[in-house]
Amino acid sequence: MTSPTKPLIPLAVLPKNELGLTVRDYEGAMSTLCAGCGHDSVTAAITQMFFELSTPPHLIAKLSGIGCSSKTPTYFVRGAHGFNSAHGRMATIATGANAANRELTYIGISGDGDSLSIGIGHLSHLMRRNVNMVYVLENNGVYGLTKGQFSASADIGSRSKRGVPNVIAPIDPIMLGLSMGATFLARSFSGDKEQLIPLLKAAVAHKGLALIDVISPCVTFNDHEGSTKSYRFMREHEVKEIETDFVPWQQEISMPHHKDDAREIIMHDGSAMRFRSVPDGYDPRDRQSVEEYIRERHERGEIATGLLYVNESSSDVHEMNNTPEVALSKIPYSRLCPGSAALSKLQEDFR
């Protein structure tokens, strides 16, 4: 079965971005996920985000592993180059791709099975290396394609569709990221595009690995009573205290400077993240206070969303390795091969 394609005839005159493209130009094939799947909302947010940022589609590389979430890169930006890899291995492919060509915008889509079980080692090292990319973890606490097994993010006591409670402690990707040295950690909810789009934009602007853990309910296997990743549970327990606005750098001049610099963070490209209603004592640049805050909220049964942690001052994998500004793949061969004279000379050491 092939993915159905969407009709390309616009119903109304659509607004254009700086490249003269409409939001339709950032769409992909028709989703084959279940109707109401949280992932489709994330896809819509990503589509809108790239449209609003006016990113040239061919300069986007979209990657994924295996699972429901990993199917979604076909559903956005059809003009982007894509790589649907193997279960849990997207981080490794993205690392190599980024190594070869740092000029593209990388977005990886993964799920909780892909990222927190089979691929947790790779995700951990992706964060350590600080590979410059957006990593969207569409988190539903369940294995959908294999019909409803608990994933490593399922909460203790959360019930499967058959009513069986989960008894193993969950892995929180944000807490994992804090211990792995991640430089951008955010959480959101698939049902909240208003929050998700600015977070995605900030993730693109961030220089380094930007992880967004998006709670994205599975309508088929994990949206029932007793689930802690259902639409209802999220709507009742989400705490959106750390709300953020994304200010692209072009508008920076017209914005008045914020007095409390802890609540405004300038990204490396000059754009800014503005924090609204940040709780007292919370500093998204201070790992310790972030950890305490998330734990405290978690103990109260609440899920804190927003940009939880950010560090704009650390180096990405290319800076750590002093690679050139241009893509390694674009360096002409003549500059890579030392030639016959050098070969003769270096063999003097082998006599």
Q: Would you say 251 or 314 has its CB closer to other proteins? A: 314
Q: Would you say 101 or 289 has its CB closer to other proteins? A: 101
CB neighbour list of residue 15: distance below 8 Å, 6 or more residues apart? 22, 23
- Strands (DSSP E) along the chain, which ranges? 60-64, 81-84, 105-111, 133-139, 142-143, 149-150, 184-189, 209-215, 238-247, 264-266, 272-276, 303-310
Q: Measured from the CB of residue 81, what is the shortest distance to other proteins in angstroms? A: 4
Q: Would you say 37 or 273 has its CB closer to other proteins? A: 37
d(C-alpha 92, C-alpha 110), whole Å: 13
Q: Would you say 92 or 289 has its CB closer to other proteins? A: 92
Q: Measured from the CB of residue 191, what is the shortest distance to other proteins in angstroms? A: 27
Q: Measured from the CB of residue 176, what is the shortest distance to other proteins in angstroms? A: 14
d(C-alpha 110, C-alpha 66), whole Å: 8
Q: Measured from the CB of residue 103, what is the shortest distance to other proteins in angstroms? A: 7
d(C-alpha 263, C-alpha 285), whole Å: 10
Distance of CA 252 to the CA centre of its chain: 25
CB neighbour list of residue 251: distance below 8 Å, 6 or more residues apart? none
Q: Measured from the CB of residue 74, what is the shortest distance to other proteins in angstroms? A: 6
Decide: 171 and 180 in contact? Cβ < 8 Å: no
Q: Would you say 130 or 188 has its CB closer to other proteins? A: 130
Decide: 254 and 272 in contact? Cβ < 8 Å: no
How many CB atoms within 10 Å of residue 230? 22
Q: Would you say 104 or 196 has its CB closer to other proteins? A: 104
Q: Would you say 143 or 231 has its CB closer to other proteins? A: 143
Decide: 193 and 41 in contact? Cβ < 8 Å: yes
Taking CB atoms within 8 Å and a gap of at least 24, the contacts of 220-223 are 220/34, 220/37, 220/144, 220/148, 221/140, 221/142, 221/143, 221/144, 221/147, 221/148, 221/160, 221/161, 222/140, 222/141, 222/142, 222/148, 222/160, 222/161
How is residue 321 annotated by DSSP?
T
φ/ψ of 139, rounded to 5, equals -105, 110
Binding site for other proteins (CB under 8 A): 1-3, 57-59, 61, 73-74, 78-86, 89, 91-101, 103-104, 121-122, 124-125, 129, 317-318, 321-324, 327-329, 331, 333, 335-340, 342-344, 346-347, 350-351
Q: Measured from the CB of residue 17, what is the shortest distance to other proteins in angstroms? A: 15
Q: Measured from the CB of residue 262, what is the shortest distance to other proteins in angstroms? A: 30
Distance of CA 275 to the CA centre of its chain: 19
Q: Would you say 85 or 139 has its CB closer to other proteins? A: 85
Beta strands 272-276; 238-247: pairing state: antiparallel
| CA dihedral of residues 302, 142, 244, 184 (deg, nearest 10) | 110
Q: Measured from the CB of residue 107, what is the shortest distance to other proteins in angstroms? A: 12
Q: Measured from the CB of residue 144, what is the shortest distance to other proteins in angstroms? A: 16
Q: Would you say 253 or 341 has its CB closer to other proteins? A: 341
